[in-house]
Amino acid sequence: MSVYTKVTEAQLAAWLKAYSVGTPVELKGIAAGIENTNYFVTTTHGRYVLTLFERLPAKDLPFYLGLMAHLARHGIPCPAPIADRRNRILSDLNGKPAALVTRLPGVVVTAPTPAHCAEVGAALADMHLAGESYAGTLENPRGPRWWRKAAREVLPFLDEAPARLLESELEFQSRFRLLDLRRGPVHADLFRDNVLFEGARIGGVIDFYFAGVDAWLFDLAVTLNDWCIEGDGMLDRTRADALLAAYHAVRPFTAAERDAWPVMLRAAALRFWLSRLHDFHLPRPGELVHAHDPEHFRRILELRIRDEHDAPWVAA
């Protein structure tokens, strides 16, 4: 969520004339993330988030916005797209596809407790089950096909040891298809900065623009690899147990998922190591850009490989 495309107050006011949300009071760029241009927008009627889509394929945007609308209708606390007077939830602003969504309450928790992790686990399971009836289809855009493409692009920048690790893990992951795992729409980026807490409860789950259809277990692994780790990438077992138990209480795991769990923890680490390598070595210019350290997820991947036979799981 960086600012790549500048929007002035006058441009916003003209664009909002197509909506029934009042007139703009405040426009503020959001300096976090790396994919889209995002602004907080306050109008005389309420608070919203304006997103300009910088590089997501236009054909995929209805999937993301439709999923958010579907989940919001089913009680998931996620942003709801606002339609304009012509019933469009997408329109052009400064030459980019743009959408306006509700702004949710709460703050990011940077040092989660087991109680926070339990809330996130239950919310993720609720989200998976609610999304099961969503008719939209889009294969995870950051899945194995993208891994191979991104690896080819970043390998020339890597020293021998990380290059060897990357090639080895890609070969390992290629042995597993895991088609017997339960699948459906996944958030695929449920890090701490994409969940807003109001006290002890979740006020909002945001940023669905990496979503796609994949194994629900992959989504859980992505989430655990951020919410349940220390700064050095080591797992906090208490937090991991809380997250897994809360998810399992809502949507019980299958035997196949138990067997695939260590592979998925590695896959989730690989996916984010690759994306951070790509953004670090092949950055795009932007007014406000926040890039992440790729070494963080390299360490996590190495730890998940090392501890493959001791991965946390729910009690039998």
Would you state the pLDDT for residue 161? 97
Picking from 218, 231, 241, 26, the residue whose alpha carbon sits closest to that of residue 117 is 241
Give the mean model confidence (pLDDT) for residues 91-113: 97
Q: Is the pLDDT of residue 1 over 60?
A: no
Looking at every residue in the chain, the average pLDDT score rounds to 94
Would you state the pLDDT for residue 15? 98
Give the mean model confidence (pLDDT) for residues 171-189: 93
pLDDT tens-digit map of 221-256: 999 999 999 999 999 999 999 999 999 999 999 999
Q: Is the pLDDT of residue 287 over 90?
A: no
Give the mean model confidence (pLDDT) for residues 149-172: 98
How many Å apart are CA 307 and CA 237, to the nearest integer? 13
Give the mean model confidence (pLDDT) for residues 71-98: 97
Would you state the pLDDT for residue 291? 66
pLDDT tens-digit map of 127-151: 999 999 999 999 999 999 999 999 9
Q: Is the pLDDT of residue 288 over 80?
A: no
Does this model's pTM top 0.85? yes
Q: Is the pLDDT of residue 285 over 70?
A: no
What is the residue type of 35? E
How is residue 60 annotated by DSSP?
Answer: G
Give the mean model confidence (pLDDT) for residues 111-115: 98
Cα–Cα distances (Å) from 128 to 6, 61, 70, 190, in that order, read 35, 20, 12, 12
Higher pLDDT, 55 or 18: 18
Residue 56, Cβ density class (10 Å: 0-12 exposed, 13-18 middle, ≥19 buried): middle
Higher pLDDT, 32 or 145: 145
Domains recognised in the chain with CATH numbers:
9-102 (3.30.200.20), 114-310 (3.90.1200.10)
